[in-house]
């Protein structure tokens, strides 16, 4: 069991997404190059199985938010330990019965190799994948990892929010507070990284006096983005 758990912990935040060639409903794709070469972020998410109720609601939800992801220069790609023909039939069913056309590819990891490499299969939860989410940036680096149990559907708006927050942090060199951009204390303002020296502390205090930034204290400063 210990060895199995070690396998699940190979991939961590800040690591380059492992290079792998996968079969999908859109043909063979090489990750992460397929997206990196286009300068795009991507969200890879797993679902336990095709033709299951919770997974169906998630796929409809992801598709309905697909434009929001694309506005963030981010693509979607699903995965489960099913074969391509099962994915195709399920996508056809969703379009026919629910009126939603799934536009993003779905990986057919029928041998479960990628799922195990990414820690999507828990030795305590059977042989299907849990609901894992990997947010990968345009350089192929894993920026966030989120896991949900099989019995609980994801909050898809949170995944959109996480992508936006990561990109905002990269662009402006800031951190984002809880529930940003609707934080209880700061609203849509962002947090300036804490001062790392006495001189920088003094600069923060001066900037606060001038009204250039706002502070609760020298280590807790924030501002509104332009």
* Mean local confidence (pLDDT), 46-56: 97
Share of the chain above pLDDT 70, in %: 96
**Quick check: 80 and 109 in contact, CB under 8 A?**
yes
* Mean local confidence (pLDDT), 26-53: 97
Is-same-fold flag (2-154; 173-226)?
Answer: no
How is residue 14 written in tokens? 């800040």
List, for residues 5-20, the tens digit of each pLDDT value.
Answer: 444 457 899 999 999 9
CATH 3.30.1020.10 is the classification of domain 173-226: yes
Given this model, what pLDDT does residue 185 score? 97
Segments making up each domain of the chain, as ranges:
2-154, 173-226
Given this model, what pLDDT does residue 9 score? 52
List, by residue number, the catalytic residues: 55
Q: Is the pLDDT of residue 1 over 50?
A: no
Task: Look over the chain and give the mean of its residue pLDDT values, rounded to a whole number.
Answer: 94
List, for residues 159-182, the tens digit of each pLDDT value.
Answer: 999 999 999 999 999 999 999 999
Q: Is the pLDDT of residue 4 over 70?
A: no
* Mean local confidence (pLDDT), 130-151: 96
Q: Tell me which of 34-43, 100-109, 116-125, 200-209 is least confident.
A: 116-125
Tell me the pLDDT band of 207, cut-offs 50, 70 and 90.
very high
List, for residues 74-125, the tens digit of each pLDDT value.
Answer: 999 999 999 999 999 999 999 999 999 999 999 999 998 999 999 999 888 8
- Alpha-carbon distance of 54 to 152, in angstroms, equals 8
Q: Is the pLDDT of residue 2 over 70?
A: no
- Could you tell me which CATH number the domain at 2-154 has? 3.40.30.10
């Amino acid at each position: 069991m210990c060895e199995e758990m070690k396998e699940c912990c190979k991939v961590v935040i800040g690591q380059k997404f492992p290079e792998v060639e996968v079969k999908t409903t859109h043909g063979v794709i090489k990750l992460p190059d397929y997206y990196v070469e286009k300068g795009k972020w991507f969200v890879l998410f797993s679902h336990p199985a095709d033709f299951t109720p919770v997974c169906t609601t998630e796929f409809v939800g992801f598709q309905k938010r697909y434009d929001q992801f694309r506005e963030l220069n981010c693509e979607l790609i699903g995965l489960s330990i099913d074969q391509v023909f099962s994915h195709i039939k399920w996508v056809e069913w969703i379009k026919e019965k629910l009126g939603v056309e799934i536009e993003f590819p779905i990986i057919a990891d029928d041998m479960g190799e990628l799922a195990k490499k990414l820690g999507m299969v828990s030795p305590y939860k059977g042989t299907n994948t849990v609901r894992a989410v990997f947010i990968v940036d345009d350089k192929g680096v894993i920026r966030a990892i989120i896991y949900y149990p099989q019995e609980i559907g994801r909050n898809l708006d949170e995944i959109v929010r996480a992508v936006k927050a990561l990109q905002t942090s990269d662009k402006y060199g800031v951190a984002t507070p809880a529930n940003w951009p609707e934080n209880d204390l700061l609203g849509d303002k962002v947090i300036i990284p804490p001062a790392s020296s006495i001189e920088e502390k003094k600069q923060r205090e001066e900037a606060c006096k001038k009204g250039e930034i706002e502070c609760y204290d020298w280590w807790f400063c924030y501002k509104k983005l332009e």
